[in-house]
Amino acid sequence: MIVGFVYKVPILVKAVYTDALCNCLKSDPIMTRKLKYPLLVSFTLLGLSACTLHPTPSTTQAGLNSPKVLEQHRNIQAEPATMQNRARLIQQQDNCVIEFKAQLSTGQATEYWIFKSTQLISAITQIQTETENIQRIFDLNDPQKQANFKALQNNFKKKNLEKCN
């Protein structure tokens, strides 16, 4: 309904301007040249703004596949010991992510554990200190990393983890 109204606005405006200025422009050719381009630009801008107000299918459906935070915890037990931390279970379209942010004495660390069902797909950490930013990719076959992943999963409810299957 709104789309039809928006598209008719330039036509109505054009009709009003055309009728009001018609007699004036016929009698003065200089006035015709002076108003021709500003009117053309105005009508073009009105037409373009009507097109931008019309929602596209991609913007209306984007919310369907947006990541959702299923669960969040603060200050969980973790190694190494942290001053404060936050663990979030995030459901994405094809997998889930455990985002673990921790404040360390040297700076802030953020770990991303990407998985589907019980299968760990990828794991990385980003460490930000006052002097540098470091990104490391975890070795998925390392038993210690697998144990850390399982320990993180144990902080979340089983029903929420099942949504990652």
Q: What pLDDT does residue 64 have?
A: 62
Shared-domain flag, residues 128 and 88: yes
> How far is 161 from 165, CA to CA, in rounded Å?
8
Q: What is the pLDDT along the chain (165 residues), one digit of tens a residue?
A: 444 444 444 444 444 455 555 555 556 666 666 667 676 677 677 666 665 555 555 544 555 668 999 999 999 988 777 879 999 999 999 999 999 999 988 899 999 999 999 899 999 999 999 999 999 999 999 999 999 999 999 999 999 999 999
Shared-domain flag, residues 84 and 30: no
**What's the whole-model pTM score?**
0.61
Shared-domain flag, residues 50 and 69: no
For the chain, how many structural domains are there in total? 2
- What DSSP line would sit under 149-161, residue for residue? HHHHHTTS-HHHH
Shared-domain flag, residues 77 and 46: no
Shared-domain flag, residues 47 and 120: no
Question: Using an 8 Å Cβ cutoff, are 140 and 122 in contact?
Answer: yes
Shared-domain flag, residues 151 and 77: yes
Shared-domain flag, residues 88 and 151: yes
Tally the C-alpha atoms within 13 A of residue 109's C-alpha that lie toward its C-beta: 17
Shared-domain flag, residues 45 and 87: no
Q: What pLDDT does residue 32 have?
A: 63
Q: What pLDDT does residue 104 have?
A: 86
Shared-domain flag, residues 102 and 140: yes
Domain residues for the domain of 87 are: 65-162
User: For residue 60, is it within any domain?
Assistant: no
